[in-house]
Amino acid sequence: MSKTWTGEQPAPAPPAALPRMIATSVVRATNQGESHGGVYLVDLLGDGFEQVIDWNEASISWEGRGADRGLRGIAFHEDRVLLAASDEIFVYDREFCLIGSHRNRYLKHCHEIAVDGDQLYMTSTGFDSILVLDLGSGRFREGHCLRFGRRHRLAKQAGHRPVPSYRQFDPEAAGGPEPADTTHLNSVVVSDGTTYACGTKVGHLLAVRDGRIASHAVTPYHTHNARPFDGGALLNQTGSDRICIIERDGTLRESHAVPRYPSELLTNVLGEERARQGFGRGLTTLDGGALIVGGSSPATVSLYARSTDEPIASVNLTMDVRNAIHGLEAWPF
């Protein structure tokens, strides 16, 4: 049973204090020289925001840096901010001065990233892979390829929901996977030695541990930002414009609506095949999971209580429907 706020009781008031949120956004259908998105610090309680990076700076060398992809995943290590571009991980200090970057031959169309100890995990969507970077040495230590083959495609056509094949590889050597996007991996989370990954084409929140792969939870297709949560999974079900908490068998336990705006307020409307409002991306939790923060298009960051359907606080950054939140985390500094 979906648990939503019905309006019969007043919506819960926002908490008295919250950390600022850091969000990345991607602007679709732009050209080089125009902004492809940026990085923002968002105050959900004060209804304000500050743009700290505009992804159109002349100092950025665009070649090979995914000019059409903007900035996506966000992670932190010590006093550093790590931001994922298409083919490169950028390292900033807390004042957003660029101090370094990491690249790899198997890193393409990176989406989400996560830090566990001194290890950075990143989704390489263009190689159906998860790469692991040791942040102390700057060396890429592990590669994990999660890929559908012909037999998986036949199984899906027959109505089954297969788990992809799995193999490890050395990301600093030749002989790794060829470029391909059969799973569209877009999320990675590490907890207690297990790596969890999901993608729009997978149908599972996958668990990788000790060289083996298994399903942690059945997920809808067209899912983003999936991670284990409260005995099940939390995710953006982008196909239905909802933030969902599901049981491990895929049963819906709870859901929350992504904000939508009157169409006359939207700008740069291109058609839904290129950019649409209500596209849910970016997801995190606060207060031990009692609060959920989600992102959407046009670039909006919203706060939810577990008992509510609609947000209890929301900050809109722009009404440009091309501009969608992608990465979203609590600002730790």
Q: What is the pLDDT of residues 178-231, one digit of tens each?
A: 999 999 999 999 999 999 999 999 999 999 999 999 999 999 999 999 999 999
User: How many CB atoms within 10 Å of residue 137?
Assistant: 9
The rounded distance, in Å, linking the Cα atoms of 292 and 261 is 21
pLDDT tens-place string over residues 86-131: 899 999 999 999 999 999 999 999 999 999 999 999 999 999 999 9
pTM over 0.85: yes
Structure tokens at 271: 């058609």
CATH number attached to the domain at 21-326: 2.120.10.30
For residues 171 and 142, the answer to whether their CB atoms sit within 8 Å is: yes
In angstroms and rounded to an integer, the radius of gyration of the C-alpha atoms of the chain is 19
Could you read off the pLDDT of 27-42 as tens digits, one per residue? Answer: 875 555 566 779 999 9
Q: Spell out the domain ranges in the chain.
A: 21-326
pLDDT per residue as tens digits for the range 164-176:
999 999 999 999 9
Residue 145 burial (CB count, 10 A) = 22
Residue type for position 50: E
**Separation in Å, CA 192 to CA 116, 117, 143, 196:** 9, 11, 19, 11
